[in-house]
Structure 1
Amino acid sequence: MMTAAQPMGPYSIPLTSEQTRIRIPGVHRSETKHPPKLSDALDFWQFAGAAANVAMQMSRPAVGYGVADSKVESGALMVHPWKRLRTTTSYLAVAILGTDEDKTAYREAVNVAHRQVRSAPDAKVKYNAFDRSLQLWIAACLYVGFEDSYQLLNGAMSPEQAESFYQSSATLGTTLQVAEDMWPATRADFDVYWNKACEQVAADDKIRAYVDDLLNLRMIPWFLRVIFGGLLKFLTAGFLGPYFHTQLGVDWTLTDQRRFEHLFLFVGFVNRFIPRFIRSAPTHAVLWDVRRRIRRGKPLI
């Protein structure tokens, strides 16, 4: 749950992966003999960490203030949550499975919205949605979410498997403005980038308040909050590394960690009996909808 811990500024001591990433128990259980790739992480339960991913992205002030102060109401999470969910899942579907034509169309649509997301001259925190370093941070958060969810369901990857998985991930950023040479070249390079980038995390009261609204589902009807609120808080906290717990004031105990790991051991076992095409069907359906919208000239976001 959210606590009253005081916000912290940018970290001055080098962070480690033990602080910035969640713990993954067990060893890799591969369903096939091919090396794992990002598309293998397209699964029902991949969405379990969606709120945590938003919280991680927003914990960097320039992203957090850009989201909280955005004047693009049509895509605001707290105003139009289902539309925001559709646009986010559409982006992921296009970035991972889309053709070059799909990516170009989606990039142009996102750029229209991003032109309106920039800070005022006298703003406390400066931000610009076209800042490639911020887009790289968001893409890195997305990658962490995919890798974590995949490993929770399938077990920890070996270094070779992790490298194979990582090498298919650059499009999470390059589908927008992130240049290919900005994306860390290897999985080990990504760790270096990630831990260094996490030093810029500094969630203040404004960011924490927005995340608290997100975790308490204040953007959806009350009866859905009653049904899903407790589970969402638990999953969100579980998908956050220890440093993010501290920054966002999220309480997480060893008992919580054991419950979280046991949940995914069970879900991972059940998933082994569900055909992959069923587990990835929602993403393919979203990509089909994107292509339908392109054909009919309908807005993508």
Structure 2
Amino acid sequence: MGNGRGFRPVAVEDIAAEALTLAGGPRALLLQIAHPGVGRGVVDHSDFASRLMDRFEGTVLYLTATMYGTPEEQAAMRRLVNRAHAPVRGVDPASGTTYNAFDPELQLWVAATLYQTMMDLHGRVFGPLSPPQAGLAYRELSRALSNLQLSHEQWPADRAAFDRYWEGMVGSLRVDADVLAVSRQILYPSGVSWWMRPGLPLLRLVTAGLLPPAVRAQFRLEWDAARQRRFDRAMRWTARIYTRLPVRLRRLLRDRYLAKLRRLVSSAPATTKARLADG
């Protein structure tokens, strides 16, 4: 592989290791909260405004454990996520419907946004996978993302079935005033590091460009021909530059979060480790 320049990830563990996948984080979050059940849980129980970066790191740690963690590390992350999900339940005052963070349907939607966003970005920057490669990536990622109450059997059976599920779900998404307010906390975060601030306008452009048009409109994100051209240009330059970076550099964030995950698990008291190992 040499210095890794021009290396095109095809295996799932290589695709998920790319720092590129993090650029899709805000897009996945917006799609998640546009689901009425997920959105109401976030509105009632989350604190995006004050802890956005903490929650971002928690999501990345979860993905890192899912893809690369040992059984002990995956058990630790399951326990942390279960603890966070435990109070997230209630009734939507507008519709009267109940929501519960342990609902497999809601967990499937959250996992589906992570899978679909990852593969969308990968295809835009590296080009499409072959049908056998894409089928294998779907099977392996859907299995890896089924680590909580969601089972692998609850995923659509194959990529064609997933595409039908995705189209139907996107058509059912609804953004109310409360969810719209949360989206502004995601897109215009406070308290981020100084070195991240100059990149936020570009990240907002990419996030809006990656959203399905109907969902983008519900989030009231302005879009026109000029913005489309800027987005297309950003994707072209990303494909030209990012794909030529050394693989080691492209995987720095994955390695950082894997090290953080292992420190988190290794620093736990022995009694906690025993409980974690038991699941």
Relative to the length of structure 2, the TM-score reads 0.85
1:199 paired to 2:174: no
1:256-296 per-position Cα deviation (integer Å, ceiling 9, x unaligned) = 22322221222222223222232112112212211211111
Using the TM superposition, name which of 118-127 and 153-162 deviates more: 118-127
1:32-54 per-position Cα deviation (integer Å, ceiling 9, x unaligned) = 6x854253243222222211111
1:1-58 per-position Cα deviation (integer Å, ceiling 9, x unaligned) = xxxxxxxxxxxxxxxxxxxxxxxxxxxxx846x8542532432222222111111000
Contact 1:135 1:173 in 2 (8 A): no
1:39–1:69 Cα change, 3 Å: farther
Using the TM superposition, name which of 135-144 and 249-258 deviates more: 249-258
Deviation at 1:172, TM superposition (A): 4.8
Q: Which structure 2 residues correspond to residues 1-301 of structure 1 after superposition, within 5 A?
A: 31=7, 35-37=10-12, 39-70=14-45, 76-120=47-91, 124-217=96-189, 219-220=190-191, 227-297=198-268
Contact 1:139 1:172 in 2 (8 A): no
* Distance in 1 separating the partners of 2:48 and 2:144: 20
* Distance in 2 separating the partners of 1:202 and 1:243: 10
Deviation at 1:156, TM superposition (A): 2.7
Contact 1:107 1:176 in 2 (8 A): yes
Question: Tell me, which stretches of 5 or more residues in structure 2 are unaligned?
Answer: 1-5, 273-279
Contact 1:60 1:202 in 2 (8 A): yes
Contact 2:27 2:211 in 1 (8 A): yes
Q: SS where residue 69 of structure 1 aligns?
A: helix
Contact 2:48 2:185 in 1 (8 A): no
* Distance in 2 separating the partners of 1:261 and 1:121: 39
For 2:31, the aligned partner's letter is M
Percent of pairs with identical residues:
30
Using the TM superposition, name which of 142-151 and 264-273 deviates more: 264-273
Contact 2:7 2:244 in 1 (8 A): no
* Distance in 2 separating the partners of 1:81 and 1:256: 26
* Distance in 1 separating the partners of 2:192 and 2:75: 35
1:137-177 per-position Cα deviation (integer Å, ceiling 9, x unaligned) = 00000011101111121023333332232122114531111
* Distance in 1 separating the partners of 2:162 and 2:267: 39
* Distance in 1 separating the partners of 2:193 and 2:268: 35
Q: SS where residue 127 of structure 1 aligns?
A: strand
For 2:20, the aligned partner's letter is W
* Distance in 2 separating the partners of 1:119 and 1:38: 37
Deviation at 1:207, TM superposition (A): 0.8
Deviation at 1:247, TM superposition (A): 2.3
1:289–1:223 Cα change, 3 Å: closer
1:24 is matched with none
1:80–1:121 Cα change, 3 Å: closer
- Report how many residues are paired: 264
State the Cα RMSD in Å.
2.5
1:230-274 per-position Cα deviation (integer Å, ceiling 9, x unaligned) = 223212101211121122222222332232222122222222322
